[in-house]
Chains A and B, each alone.
Chain A
Amino acid sequence: MNFLYTAYAAVWIVHVAYAFTLMRRYSRLSREIEDLKKK
């Protein structure tokens, strides 16, 4: 059972981590767009 739950948890950790990196990249890009607009 431990292997099953570890596998399922690992799947969700990978997906959540990837979604988190996408959100971080979005917010960094939004800051860059704001900087460009200020210029």
Chain B
Amino acid sequence: MKRIFPILGLLTAVLLSYALYAALELAPTEQTMGDVQRIFYYHVPSAWTAFILFTINFVASIVYLMKRSAKADAVAVTTAEVGVVFCTIVLITGPLWARPVWGIWWTWDVRLTSTLVLWLIYVSYLILRRFSSSGQTPVIAAALAVFGALDVPLVYFSIWFFRTQHPQPVIGGGGSLDPRMGRVLLLNWLAFSCLALMLCWSRYRLERLQREVEQAQAFDPILEPRSHR
């Protein structure tokens, strides 16, 4: 496994570099919005990646609630944290795209508001994990994650069921996307998925190591008197 990580790192770096070049140079310029539309190649893949990570968090939380598996709990924390990073990017790039195109930074429509709520739910989840020292914290956090995940389909399907400022989805939404734009979009998604995998991998290892250290520290005061004998 240790050999795979640098290979994946190299592959991710190459993919991200080429995806950046493709987004800025290879993708055709959109006629109405101009170059600012290229934010799309970072905004949409980040949103998809966040949705996938929150879905994995949901599955891991259910597994934890059913089996009390420490590994499932570590996967849940990992995917929530990396998911928040990607969701933050969606919330930053969205207004930066909206300002020149819509003339406003933000509007309280269903898509944007539900995305902000999704981000707040998972930030609350991480705050709970970070600052609560109760033994029941993983259970409460898993329950919060299960309810929080209900917001993921609401965010995704909100533009189908409600009239919003946000455009229709590019895939499965009935809109047409230039095939060259579609290829660049998928390339960027692949690159960001590889980056997410690397970040999750590192964060998962950190979480497991942290738990081992906490366990060792918890036993330390018990073992210490014996070592003085």
Contact = CB atoms under 8 A, between A and B. Distances in A.
B93 A7 contact: yes
B89 interface: yes
Given A4-B39, A29-B209, A39-B220, A22 B199 contact: yes
A4 B82 CA distance: 24
Interface in A1-39: 1, 3-4, 6-8, 10-11, 14-15, 18-19, 22, 25-26, 29, 32-33, 36, 39
Contacts, number: 67
B202 A11 contact: no
Interface residues of B, number: 31
Given A3-B100, A18-B85, A26 B206 contact: yes
A6 B82 CA distance: 22
B52 to A, nearest CB: 17
A25 B206 CA distance: 8
Contacts of A29: 206, 209-210, 213
22 contacts: A1-B35, A3-B39, A3-B97, A4-B35, A4-B38, A7-B42, A10-B89, A10-B92, A11-B46, A11-B93, A14-B92, A15-B85, A15-B89, A19-B202, A22-B203, A22-B206, A25-B210, A26-B206, A29-B213, A32-B217, A36-B216, A36-B220
Interface of A: 1, 3-4, 6-8, 10-11, 14-15, 18-19, 22, 25-26, 29, 32-33, 36, 39
Interface of B: 20, 35-36, 38-39, 42-43, 46, 82, 85, 88-89, 92-93, 96-97, 99-100, 195, 199, 202-203, 206, 209-210, 213, 216-217, 220, 224, 227
